[in-house]
Amino acid sequence: MAKGMRDIKRQIKSIQNTRQITKAMEMVAAAKLRKSQEAAEAARPYAEKLKEVVASIAAGTKGVKHPMLESREIKKTGYLIITSDRGLAGGYNANVIRKVMTTIRANHKSSSEYALFVIGRKGRDYFKRRDMAIIEEVTGLSDAPVFSDIKSIASAAVGNFENGTYDELYIVYNEFVNALTQIPVMTRLLPLEEVTAASGTAAYEYEPSAEGVLEVLLPKYAETLIFSALLDAKASEFGAKMTAMGSATKNATKMINQYTLIYNRARQAAITQEISEIVAGANAQN
């Protein structure tokens, strides 16, 4: 009985140590979540203004043509997938990867019909284990990424659409709703068919020409949308981690209570047995 009680006590101590770790990780994720939300919100005005200028040029210039604005027959599709480098985030990575794989199985018969760009070690490792070719990858991003961290992969993803390597580009990531809810979404990034001028948009004059400015701005706008999605995905990642670590802490507390109850019962049984033995010994002497 004493050995069993020692084992239970050791188990309780082990779970208490784990609870301390998960609680600390929950608090760290909560702090990083606030910073990520602020970064995502700060990036939106720039993206909105860029969209306004692009839409103004596209709507105000007759006969303007650009590969990024025109739909074409879909022969090959590009996917830019945003995952995390580390786990302990519940279903954060699994949900995004599942969405990609479901789409690929439903829409493509062979690997020649799609191209993959991956941000995050979890996604990179998953696709490589399945021998799925990745055109470009980015791993080891900081908790507060800047545009230069993903400039190469964003430029490659947009550039490969422009040169006709594939005919549409989707971005797949977890959209941040709140700390408890992150929704895996797949959004078509290119071609930019939904760029329309808002009513009352100011008129601009462009040098050397509207077409020349559009030639530069359209790739920048698409790359900005990718970076904005990354910031949203980072907020989702920390929200998922905070939720997962919060659940782990609650489960650890529940297990500690259960083991404490078992320990107290075993201890009570041991005391009762000792009293019974003492009484029996006293009675034997009389």
Per-residue pLDDT tens digits for 114-148: 999 999 999 999 999 999 999 999 999 999 999 99
pLDDT at position 286:
61
When mean pLDDT is compared across 78-92, 155-169, 183-197, 227-241, the lowest value belongs to 183-197
- Residue 204's pLDDT band (cuts 50, 70, 90): low
Q: Domain spanning 43-243 has what CATH number? A: 3.40.1380.10
Cα 105 to Cα 71: distance, rounded to the nearest angstrom: 23
pLDDT at position 125:
96
In the predicted model, is pLDDT for residue 1 greater than 60?
Answer: no
Residue with tokens 């990609």: 100
Residue 187: helix, strand or coil by DSSP? strand
pLDDT at position 75:
94
Residue with tokens 């049984």: 269
In the predicted model, is pLDDT for residue 80 greater than 80?
Answer: yes
In the predicted model, is pLDDT for residue 270 greater than 90?
Answer: no
Phi, psi of 109 (to 5 degrees): -95, -25
Average pLDDT (263-277) is: 82
When mean pLDDT is compared across 10-19, 43-52, 94-103, 152-161, the lowest value belongs to 43-52
CATH 3.40.1380.10 domain residues, the chain: 43-243
- Residue 92's pLDDT band (cuts 50, 70, 90): very high
pLDDT tens string 18-53: 999 999 999 999 999 999 989 988 888 888 888 777
Q: Is the pLDDT higher at 174 or at 70?
A: 174
In the predicted model, is pLDDT for residue 197 greater than 70?
Answer: no
In the predicted model, is pLDDT for residue 84 greater than 70?
Answer: yes
Cα 11 to Cα 100: distance, rounded to the nearest angstrom: 41
Q: Which CATH architecture has domain 2-25+245-285?
A: Orthogonal Bundle (1.10)
CATH 1.10.287.80 domain residues, the chain: 2-25+245-285
Q: Is the pLDDT higher at 141 or at 55?
A: 141
pTM: 0.85
Cα 99 to Cα 105: distance, rounded to the nearest angstrom: 10
Q: Is the pLDDT higher at 233 or at 200?
A: 233
pLDDT at position 67:
77
pLDDT at position 202:
58
Phi, psi of 276 (to 5 degrees): -60, -40
Q: Look over the chain and give the mean of its residue pLDDT values, rounded to a whole number.
A: 88
Residue 138: name the closest of 147, 125, 149, 146 by CA: 149
